[in-house]
Structure 1
Amino acid sequence: MAEAEDHIELKFRIYDGTDIGHSTYASSTTVANLKQRLVAEWPQDKTVIPKSVNDMKLIHAGKVLENSKTLAESRILFGDLPGGVTTMHVIVQPPLAKKKTDKNQEEMSKQNSCSCIIL
């Protein structure tokens, strides 16, 4: 019976409503380990594909989970729904490309310059 309390059945819903990573996980599993598994199992036919753990966020009960915490530390409820599956949402946000940042700085310097003509 203690073993059932130490494990939770999870699935992860991505942006288009597809569920991935459906499995049973130990309460000691870290959020970073979950993300690594999701990156490995990500469907390759999707338009948005995370390249690393840092490209995604896991959301449970309205809270973004921290990579360094375990499922137990993240207060994922174990055994709340007997035979039930807990769904977490996955948000993919790749980091901004450096070129885009450089472009924004260039635009800002143009905006700060005066182009007035006095006659």
Structure 2
Amino acid sequence: MSGEEEPIELKFRVYDGTDIGHNHYAASTTIATFKEMLVAEWPRDKEVIPKVANDMKLIYAGKVLENNNTLAESRIVFGELPPGGVTIIHVVVQPSVSKEMPKKNMCPCTCTIM
């Protein structure tokens, strides 16, 4: 081995089937880095837009990828793709709910159950 890692070609597929972030990346890149990149590059014409990296989950082969893991640690398959093949990671956007939202009472009156 030469000690130099081969870049991995990735696409990130969003909820409506479009792809973003199509490029070559180092196997040592962390999932958290990808999330930050995706927030910055997210198309502004989409209905749902993540505001922060924690608003997203990256999914590969049915598994949610952990922020502190690298592509290599996440066992992203590369090198075995057919010519012209690209690895796709799915992006799920789940905006975080504000903890400061006031609770609404379901019943405006005080009820007594007897």
* TM tier relative to shorter chain: 0.7 to 0.9
The letter of the residue matching 2:89 is: M
For residue 115 of structure 1, what is the amino acid of its counterpart?
A: T
- The yes-or-no answer on 1:46 pairing with 2:43 is no
Shift of 1:3: 8.5
Select the structure of larger CA radius of gyration. 1
Unaligned runs of 5+ in 2: none
For residue 112 of structure 2, the aligned residue among 106, 111, 115 is 115
Change in Cα spacing, 1:115 to 1:29, as seen in structure 2 (3 Å) is same
Change (3 A) 1:88 1:16: same
For normalisation by structure 2, the TM-score amounts to 0.84
Q: CA 1:95–1:19 in 2, change beyond 3 Å: closer, same or farther?
A: same
Aligned twin of 2:8: 8
- Are 2:78 and 2:87, in contact at CA under 8 Å, matched by a contact in 1? no
Where has structure 1 moved over 3 Å in runs of 4 or more?
A: 1-5
* TM-score computed with the length of structure 1 as normaliser: 0.81
* Structure 1 residue 103: Cα displacement: 1.2
Summarize deviations over 1:11-68 as a string: whole Å, max 9, x none: 0110111100000011000001111111111000111000111000000000000010
Alpha-carbon distance, 1:114 to partner: 5.7
Shift of 1:116: 2.8
SS of residue paired to 1:9: strand
Q: Percent identity?
A: 63
Structure 1: where are the runs of 5+ without partners?
none
Q: 8 Å contact 1:5–1:78 — kept in the other structure?
A: no
Q: State the SS of the aligned residue for 1:79.
A: coil
Name the CA distance, whole Å, in 1 between partners of 2:3 and 2:20.
24
Partner of 2:77: 77
Partner Cα separation in structure 1 for residue 73 and residue 24 of structure 2: 17
Cα 1:81/1:55, change in 2 over 3 Å? same
